Structure formats: structure tokens, C-alpha cells
Amino acid sequence: MMRTKWIIVLNYNLYERCLAHLETLSGVANVGLFFVDNQSRGEEYQALRDVCMKHGALVVEAKDEKSGLAVLQEQLVKLESRLVLFRTHKNLGYGGGNNVALRVLHDLCGSAGQFLIVNPDVILSQDAAQRLLDCHAEICGPEVYERYKQGISAFGHTVDFSTGFSEGECASDNNIKALSGCCLKLSGRALEKYGYLPEDIFLYGEEIIYFERVSRQGGAPYYLRGVVVEHIGSLSVTKHTFMHYYYLFRNSLTYFIEIAGPHYGRYGRFIWLYTTDCLDTLRINFRKRNWAGIRGILFGVWHGLRLRKGPLDG
């Protein structure tokens, strides 16, 4: 019988963190573990592949956009595998990579499915994973302790969908607007109502796009107070680099131009917040002589205005 509870881990060059998840989470009773390798470097993928095969995993490697998925689904049903490793044909980003697993599992499990997305850079206990998967809410997430901030993230309590910025006082848990994408439980019911994760954005901003959509359709996430995970922080992109600033400023601008602006019309407020953020960040990086960071901000703004999406060429 096909199990309905799964943990999904999207890997990109973080073999050691995936190994930690394998060692910890494979012990969660009646729960499958699905690794999606997002075209990691050859040696990183090979190391993950070797250890997964030692644990009896079903391993499938895609050669192009569609190949492998039919084989994966067929073998998953036939073998009733509890451990899966699927290698994508290219880096699909956070949304695209996680959606590979979500689509396959949702097709097999239907509305009864419970799917917990966990980034490799998250420290998650067996108890926390079990409580999230057992939660009856359509969408739920834990308290996220951000190591670099040394505190619990308040993003979902303060984000304003009309601008994409965090503003105002913290909302109560009953009125929380969004959850962190680093550890997020989506049910089959949620996927049927609100769709899959956005795929045309890359690296930053998928959560706000998804939860803005959920909010406009009358839904709301559930904040599982008392369940805490630790987010080490992005290990695939270093903070304060060209790439870090490029995607932050590009994606927040495309979000407003395509979604928030047309739906909420707060153009003046967004221009003020975005311009202030740009100038403040430029000033800080100029003092630090961080020329790469400054280039990232400027290119991010330029490409945001041109509605560039996906990974940066080269």
C-alpha cells in the first residue's frame, strides 16, 4: 500500500546535510523520504547516490524535462520504496525542484497526501517531523529559529502582500500570513486548492508568491507553535555576494510589478520602501567596498524592471 506521508529534501551541493537528514529522518515511522538532486556537482551527487543505494533507495536520473518521471512513478508504486533519489536534468530552483516530488507523490496519494518540504540547511528532529506530518491543517509550518539572527523568524507575522515587505506589528498566530519555505507541510488538499509552488522565480521569493495566492483564494496557513526547527541559513548562496543581492532585488521588484501592484495598487508605498532599501543597502556595501554586492543590486534592479526570471545566464 502506498504510504501517504513523505518528507521531501531538495539538494544542491549539500551532500553532508542530506546525509544528516537521511540518518535522522529515515527513522520516522511510516514516512517516506524523497531526495531531489537539483543537478549538484558530479562528486556531490555521486556521494549522495552511493549512500542512498546502500540504504536500498529507488534511484532515477532524468535525461531531459520529461524523462524519468513516468519510470519513477511506475517503480515507486511497484516497489513501494520508502527512500527515493531523483536527479533532475537541470537546476530547477526551489519551486521547480520540490514540485517534481510533489507532483509525483500527489498523483499517487491524492488528497490524503501529507508532504513535508525540508531544506538541507534545516536541523529537524524526528519528533518535529512527525508532529508536522500529523497536523490536520492543509498547510502548516513550525517556528523557525534563524541562526544568523539568533531568534525566531517573524516574517510570516509581518509580511504585507501589497508590497512584499515586512511592515507593522506582528500578527497573532491566528492571523499569520505566510510560512518559511525552509520547512513547510503541504497537504494533497492544499495542492488541489492552491496549486503547486511557483517555478518561474529563482532562489528567493517563492513563499510570498505562493502564500499571496493562498490568501487571495481564502486560505491561510497554520503556525504550529511549540514545534521548532533551526535554519542554519542558505549554504548554496553566500550572503552579501553578487548573486545574493541580485536575486533579492530582482525578485522583489518582479513580484510587485506582476502580482502585488495589479492586485493591491500600492505603488507609492512600494516605490518608497524599495528605493529606501536599495539606497540603504548600496550605502552599506559602499562603505565595505563590496563592489560585487553593489553590482548585484544594480543588475537586480535593472533585470527586475525588465521582468527577467529564472537563473541568471552564466
Q: Where are the domains of the chain?
A: 5-231, 242-305
- The greatest distance separating any two alpha carbons of the chain, rounded to the nearest whole angstrom, comes to 60
Nearest to 37 by CA among 81, 72, 70: 72
Q: What is the mean pLDDT of residues 202-221?
A: 92
pLDDT score recorded for residue 4: 94
| pLDDT exceeds cutoff 90 at 291 | yes
Angle between helices 291-305 and 242-255 (to 10 degrees): 20
CA dihedral over 179, 185, 189, 192, signed as positive or negative:
positive
Q: What is the mean pLDDT of residues 125-139?
A: 96
| Separation between Cα atoms, residue 139 and residue 190, nearest integer Å | 7
Topology (CATH level 3) of domain 5-231: Spore Coat Polysaccharide Biosynthesis Protein SpsA; Chain A (3.90.550)
> Lowest mean pLDDT: which of 49-58, 142-151, 286-295?
142-151
| pLDDT exceeds cutoff 60 at 221 | yes
pLDDT score recorded for residue 235: 57
Tell me the pLDDT tens digit for each residue of 12-25.
999 999 999 999 99
CA dihedral over 43, 44, 50, 56, signed as positive or negative:
negative
Residue type, 165: F
